Amino acid sequence: MSINDSITDVEQAKRIIEEVGEVYQSRVLDNLRCLTYKKSECTFEQNAIKVISNMYDEYALNVANVLWKDKFEEIPQYLKEW
C-alpha cells in the first residue's frame, strides 16, 4: 500500500493505532470495545451496543487514516502490506 491509499480494514486500523498512535487512542478503542461485551435482552440496549460497535469501527478507521498520512514512515512494513 502507498501513502495515498486508505485504510478500510478495522483490524489493520487497530494495529496501526497500537504501533504509532498515542496511548489514549488505543485506550479509547479498548473502552469502546468493553462497552460492546455486555449482553442484553433489551432491544434498546442491543441497539445501543450496535451503535457503540459502529463507533469503534469508525473511530479506528478515522484515526488510522490520519496516522497513515502523518506517520507513514513509522508504520511497520507488515502493516503496509496488510
Q: What is the pLDDT along the chain (82 residues), one digit of tens a residue?
A: 999 999 999 999 999 999 999 999 999 999 999 999 888 889 999 999 999 999 999 999 999 999 999 999 999 999 999 9
Residues, the chain = 82
Residue 67 buriedness (CB in 10 A; 0-12 / 13-18 / 19+)? buried
As a whole number of angstroms, the distance between CA 8 and CA 73 comes to 19
pLDDT at site 6: 97
Terminal-to-terminal C-alpha distance of the chain: 8
pLDDT at site 41: 87
pLDDT at site 73: 97
pLDDT at site 49: 94
Using only C-alpha atoms, what is the Rg of the chain? 14
